[in-house]
Chains A and B, each alone.
Chain A
Amino acid sequence: MSELATAAERALALAADAGADEAEAWCERSVSRQIRVYDGRVESLSDAGSRGLGLRVFCGARSGYAYGTDLTDAGLAALAHAAVGAARVADEDEYAGLPDECGTTPVEGLFSPAVREWTTERKVELALQIERAARAHAGVTQVEDVVYADSEGEVALANTRGFSAAYEASAAWAYVSAFAGEGADLMTGLGVGLARDPGGLDPVAIGDEGAERALALRGARQPKSRHCPVVLDAFVAASFLGFIGGMLSAEAVQRGRSLFAGREGEEIAWSGLRLADDATDPGGLESAPFDGEGSPSRRTVLIEDGRLATYLFDARTARKAGRRTTGSAGRSSYRTPPSVSTKNLVLDPGDAPLEELLRRAGDGLYVTDVAGLHSGVNPVSGTFSVGATGRLIEDGELGRPVREITIASDLVSMLRSVQAVGSETRWVPFGGSVKAAPLLLGEMAVSGA
């Protein structure tokens, strides 16, 4: 048994001693590195280890949570005592409890040893390559930030119903923020890459992407207000899909905080739209063999042929709704108790390349960045007004760059107004972990000058 699994088992025994009827221990250990380069040199380099344990206890129908970094017997005993003490404060919750269904789903490729085999020097060189690639573009006036980061870690989960499992995972990612123009005309562009190890990152592609996205916006001005078709690029589509995914959590639905409440089975989107949440896709960095409370991972179709197929459930929300868990208990670290969340949202690609989406839009707006999504959307009504940056679409082609605009609509109208999904999908770290594609939307209110 691994050291983590042993600590988890010990915590369960101590929880029972402290008076818990049932308990669950999540123990993790990770090593993470981050390299930031600027102007051809290392600006910061960090290498850090972390380990801790989160203990959830149930005393009758009350539950409490405690976490800590001290994994000695004394530390774990204090944790068990704190968790039981916390449970005493809670009101009774008839739906609280460990999942009825525990188990694991084999997912290949979560860990790549290359993440630790690469030397620090090689990783620094990768970051410098990104910076050079971005600076090589004529018109790039500054490369503000280049970050390479990776992590490797092990997670062990055990509960008093006999579930005990562990897995190892690794991740490597990098991004660059490049500038084009100067002073008041300065525009920024972001390039990103995600993989399981540094060998899976293409530094030149990341650098090029940051530079090209900035250069495409050079000379942007505020356009006149209009109603027009809109094309969202994959970054922006991912941000919206991530927001919508959050609204499909049964937690949000049951608490009356989702505009999708009571709409299961209804048509909420264009008939060609298909969106799934998949915790078993090795390409998605949120994949794992089991969820945050030990239910086996799976793929759940959320929107099929435009209809809302299901919400995402953990054990508690499933019990309350008389349904089964979808394995959607999320956990960002040992410091947080499990709660419903998306894993990897996957949008089914369409068959139109971006050029065709633009052609079909005719005269419209191509959006490459949105700002204020989380403050600009009313989660209950779904109405939104967000800041946007991008290019006009003129005669079916990309035209002049525009900024300081807002686009306004509501999420369901927007989903229904989708006219085509692009054929090029990619993993994007916005809105959670999302495999997104560009989207062609019908007319939206675009306000500028």
Chain B
Amino acid sequence: MKRANEPVFWSLFGAGGVLSALLGPILILITGIVVPAGTGMPPDAMAYPRVLAFAQTWCGKAALLAVISLFLWHAVHRIYHSLHDLGIHAGAGAAAICYGFALVATLATAYLLIIIGF
């Protein structure tokens, strides 16, 4: 029987799943609802200077990369397997698109975080 390479993607899926199961809702609430609505947070919570300073620390870079990258590795794994559940016979091509997207996004985020500076 053919050995599956699933462990690689499942590990990333799991890491992203844990991270998003801890931080997903609160981040969406803060960045997508509370701050844009203008109440419940100081007005400069997501202001450019503050966020830039954050993104220029190693801690901030690690946090941003982990969140964006792992959320995506988790999501694409689930989406890819759900295609099958929906009766879409997703083969290697679909896998390449899904996982490729997460890979490109990871590399792009890393690159952007580097050029943002220190």
The answer to whether A binds B is: no
Partner-B contacts on A (CB < 8 A): none
